[in-house]
Amino acid sequence: MPEPHTPGPLLPGRRVLVVGAGTRPSDDPGAPVGNGRAIAVTAAREGARVACADRDEAAAAETARLVEAAGGDPAAGAAVITADVADPVACERAVGLAADRLGGLDAVVFNAGIGTGYGLAGTALADWDHVLDVNLRGPFLVAKAALPILDAGAALVFIGSLAGTKPGSRSPSYDASKAGLTGLVRHIAAEAAPRGVRANVVAPGLIDTVMGRDASAGNTDRDRVAQLIPMRRQGTAWEVADVTAFLLSHRAAYVTGQVVHVDGGLSTLR
């Protein structure tokens, strides 16, 4: 039976791979940080060593710079890994490189996510396939590569979406991929539990990131839904990151196979 924890950093010495650790580029100098970048920086602030993987190498490198500034182990630095998770080989390679650079792995976050195509008529077969490849096959391949090298006490977090349980994104491939992610993560959790490894989904609602602002552009539905949020505001990537860091930590030692909504109460509405 684990002992009660004393207060302190959530992730001391934990070796964390964040896949999708960049942030979508923006011309706005005041652009908000994305979920993956906030997760990587928060993990470092909580004592972790972090490997930053993204298809956008410059974005991953900028996150690594922020991770080092936030107190990630300066001797190790923050590893930058260029990986497009639409490529099955890159998924496996990213896990192997992260384990090499960090000397093993204790935690994996899969944050990469895209949405392409609106409505059934506006979604080409290629859009559907690409979104499913990134949002659902990518998590499968990364988990498949990571599980054999994760020891008891390790944890995985997958960034889902409220779109996985409620309609509203207007993108059938996005909605389906995020719903499928829940099934995949329940499976991973069940398969990994006997080995003491946990897996959970963090499902953000409306989060003020560059992707969130892009999704709002010309989308009156998103503005209408934003008015309904019980907490009367959109969330920040830092709020997504705090929940993710908790779920990666030993303080969440008895939580697995769950979907934790970070949505200001939006999922509680009918």
Binds ligand NAD by CB under 6 A, chosen from 51, 78, 105, 159: 159
Dihedral of alpha carbons 174, 175, 180, 185, sign: positive
Question: In this chain, which residue has its C-beta nearest to ligand NAD?
Answer: 113
User: DSSP 3-state assignment of 16?
Assistant: strand
Binds ligand NAD by CB under 6 A, chosen from 14, 55, 137, 261: 55
Interaction between residue 261 and ligand NAD (CB under 6 A): no
Binds ligand NAD by CB under 6 A, chosen from 47, 117, 139, 212: 212
Complete edge-to-edge strand list for the sheet that includes strand 155-159: 79-82, 49-54, 15-19, 107-110, 155-159, 198-204, 259-262
Catalytic pick from 139, 174, 225, 226? 174
Of residues 215 through 234, those in contact with ligand NAD by CB under 6 A are none
Helix, strand, coil % (nearest 5) of the chain?
45, 15, 40
Binds ligand NAD by CB under 6 A, chosen from 14, 36, 107, 198: 36
Which residues, 6+ apart, have CB-to-CB distance to 79 below 8 Å?
50, 51, 52, 64, 97, 98, 101, 102
Contact segment (CB under 6 A) with ligand NAD among 68-76, 79-87, 192-200, 248-256 equals 79-87
Contact segment (CB under 6 A) with ligand NAD among 10-18, 187-195, 203-211, 241-249 equals 203-211
Burial of 64 (0-12, 13-18, 19+ CB in 10 A): buried
Contact predicate 252/198, CB 8 Å: yes
Interaction between residue 161 and ligand NAD (CB under 6 A): yes
Interaction between residue 114 and ligand NAD (CB under 6 A): yes
259 DSSP β-pair partners: 201
Binds ligand NAD by CB under 6 A, chosen from 154, 211, 248, 266: 211
Contact predicate 238/141, CB 8 Å: no
Contact segment (CB under 6 A) with ligand NAD among 3-11, 71-79, 112-120, 225-233 equals 112-120
* Residue 69, token pair as written in the block: 């500034």
> Annotated catalytic, 174?
yes
Query: Which residues are catalytically annotated?
Result: 174
Q: Which residues bind ligand NAD (CB under 6 A)?
A: 20, 22-24, 34-36, 54-56, 59, 83-86, 111-114, 134, 159, 161, 204, 206-207, 209-212, 237
